[in-house]
Structure 1
Amino acid sequence: MYDAICCPTDGSRGSDAAVEHACNLAALADARIHALFVVDNSVPGVGEWDMAVEREEARGERALDAVTEAGERCDVPVERHLRRGRVHEEILDAAEQYEVDLIVMGTHGRTGLGRFLSAGSVAERVVRHSAVPVLTVRATGGDVDDA
């Protein structure tokens, strides 16, 4: 059914729930996971701030470590990818480049003003534009923590 699953992560609780789903699906399907963290360089000035980018890359490595560890627990191979760009565009590009059959990603579940202020959700944009199926997983219990 699935040979390759893209699992974008930002290290949040919503991402952690998606990672568990992706690992379980990959184990059942004997698939590989492409773990992806995107350093968002669409924020004005971030490209000029080396320390901010380095901090985000370090956060990304920690998030990718968590996916790798989850993959090891489920005996699933994980390939790690750290990219820079607009998050939803990089996820869509990665899905095409790595020829994945499914994208499994977390959602913060924002509504109303919070969603408006964040200019829509990354998950929503990916769902709208993806050429492959997208499984969104919401964090369970309580408020969602941003990493």
Structure 2
Amino acid sequence: MAVLNVHERRLPVPPSVVGALLDTLASEDDRLWPDESWPAMRLDRGLAPGAAGGHGPIRYEVAHHVPGQWVRFAFTAPASFEGFHEFTVRGDTGGSVLRHTLAMRTHAMARVSWPLLFRPLHDALIEDSLAKALAEVGGGAAPVRWTPLVRGLRRLLARFASG
């Protein structure tokens, strides 16, 4: 099954400011990834191409990085995810657009687990990331409300994680 999942947020600051946020991903001072509420993004060598890591059960490596503009991560696990996710920054009238794109083919059990489990959690995580970016650049901190499904999945996963 082919998946294309896009989220974006307009930010009232120049692309250089948003690009600086992007370049903090997986660092000690990560100002983009919402690790206050979600598993942290970790990479073994920062945003350098070839760096390996992930968040939670999702594993990937840095495929490309243009500082301040673009970073692409190629999935390495689960094996049933074949593709990438990326953040891009582009200029827009009076500000910037921060976009997250996930493009992949799912195989085997991921044809079921993506729409039922991973997609709702992914969508909530990325919306939290975009809200964090907006708050970081002084654009306000409108809270993201998780759906009942996302809250339920998080409770269920927390039970499994705690044994």
User: Do the two structures share a fold, i.e. TM-score over 0.5?
Assistant: no
Which TM-score applies when normalising by structure 1? 0.29
RCO comparison, higher one (Cα < 8 Å, 6+): 1
Which TM-score applies when normalising by structure 2? 0.28
Larger strand share, 1 or 2: 2
Larger helix share, 1 or 2: 1
